Amino acid sequence: MQILLVGAGLSGAVIGRKLAEAGHSCRIIDARSHIGGNCHTERDADTGVMMHVYGPHIFHTDDQEVWNYVNGFAEFLPFQNRVKSTTQGAVYSLPINLLTINQFFGKTMRPDEARDFIAGQADRTIEDPQNFEEQALRFVGRDLYEAFFKGYTEKQWGCAPTELPASILKRLPVRFNYDDNYFFHRFQGMPKDGYTPMIAAIMDHPNITVQLDTPYSADMTATVDHVFWSGPLDGFFGYDLGRLGYRTLDFERFTHDGDYQGCAVMNYGDRDVPWTRITEHKHFSPWEIHDGSVCYREYSRAAGPQDIPYYPIRLVKEKALLADYIARARATEGVTFVGRLGTYRYLDMDVTIREAMDTADAFLNCARRGTAP
């Protein structure tokens, strides 16, 4: 079969590879001039530092098969994300852990004491948290919420935390020990040479052609048997029902001699600091030595039509529109919608790869049986 994959990110690469290995002919196109989507990495021309061009990407997963898969295409080196937060005039350890709690409240509690203490802080009147704020108040109480989550979240999402789903906070744990690893997954690491060579290796197959600087046009489908669309879901339909909301990011680049902040990611919890976080990229490759340093101050705002979409917003308004687009997507024969943009979900890289593998397998099973995918 002739397959067109729109988008040269993780979804397009993984699906393309599986289909290519099964003997199908895959054409992957991307409007940008590089592969990798928002996982793209490249070396800074001045300092040689490996840059996460579209913001920090740390690979973490509990999925053994996904971990084996990525290790088949890149050498991964150990990396643990140890995020800090500057808030209310001090620096703390994230995710909220025993060090954070003891420092924040000026105490020397052991785990059980801290657990009881935080339970006393928590708002027990909220039984079934309906939104981000309620979730935070229920689990950590008002003081920690206001220091670490309220301001950051208002900056990141541009709305009151009461308007956001509780699920966003559920991404973050609270630990009653000194484990400051941001992620709790069994496998965590960073590709030694960045994500882009890994994605290039996935796409490196004789049955795959990749064309960059190539925007999709409807006439491309005339000669293909199936399309995998990892561009924006609403974009496929020309936005004719309206636009699904996204947050976009602006990165303000600056350089520094030596070490600027001593860690890869420093969050800023105060509302009156306009950026959400500062990323110092060389700390993502701690095995490399660089004298110079490159940092990004990261600002979040509502995405306009020309901006790169990063985070799907998924508030009530978007959910109604999303349901309409999903109904149309289901009714569109010959096209499968995949990935963060194609399904309008806040997906981590490992989940994106898992879903891409499963989508490709399901497609191949249908193709073997001669049924429609």
User: Which residues contribute to the site for ligand UDP (CB under 6 A)?
Assistant: 85, 94, 148-149, 152-153, 156, 168-169, 171-172, 267, 269
Contacts of residues 212-216 at CB distance under 8 Å and 24 or more positions apart, as own/partner, are: 212/8, 212/29, 212/30, 212/32, 212/33, 212/34, 212/35, 213/30, 213/31, 213/32, 213/33, 214/29, 214/30, 214/31, 215/29, 215/31, 216/6, 216/29, 216/31
Query: Rounded to whole angstroms, how far apart are CA atoms 10 and 24?
Result: 18
Extended strands (E) in the chain: 2-6, 25-29, 41-43, 50-52, 59-61, 76-78, 84-87, 90-93, 187-191, 208-211, 226-229, 246-257, 265-268, 277-280, 292-302, 311-312, 335-337
How far apart are the two ends of the chain, measured CA to CA in Å? 13
Give the distance, in angstroms, between the CA of residue 323 and the centroid of all CA atoms in the same chain: 22
Nearest to ligand UDP of 172, 367 (CB atom): 172
From the list 44, 280, 298, 318, the catalytic residue is: 298
Residue 193 CB, shortest distance to ligand UDP, in Å, is 22
**Other C-beta atoms within 10 Å of 244: how many?**
23
Q: Is 138 a catalytic residue?
A: no
Q: What gap in Å lies between CA 223 and CA 90, rounded to an integer?
A: 60
Order across the sheet with 187-191: list the strands. 59-61, 187-191, 76-78
Is 346 a catalytic site residue?
Answer: yes
Task: Single out the catalytic residue among 17, 27, 138, 247.
Answer: 247
d(C-alpha 187, C-alpha 362), whole Å:
26
Cβ neighbours of residue 367 under 8 Å, at least 6 residues apart?
A: 1, 22, 24, 373
- Beta strands 50-52 and 90-93, pairing class: unpaired
Q: In the bound complex, what is the minimum distance in angstroms from residue 94's beta carbon to ligand UDP?
A: 6
Closest CA to 69 of 352, 373, 367, 287: 352
Of the residues 175, 314, 340, 354, only one is catalytic, namely 175
Known active-site residue 348: yes
**124 noted as active-site residue:** no
Q: Nearest distance from residue 304's CB to ligand UDP, in Å? A: 20
- CB 153, min distance to ligand UDP, A: 4
The distance of closest approach from Cβ of residue 352 to ligand UDP in the complex, given in angstroms and rounded to an integer, is: 13
Separation of alpha carbons 371 and 133, rounded Å: 46
The residues assigned a catalytic role are 171, 175, 247, 277, 298, 346, 348
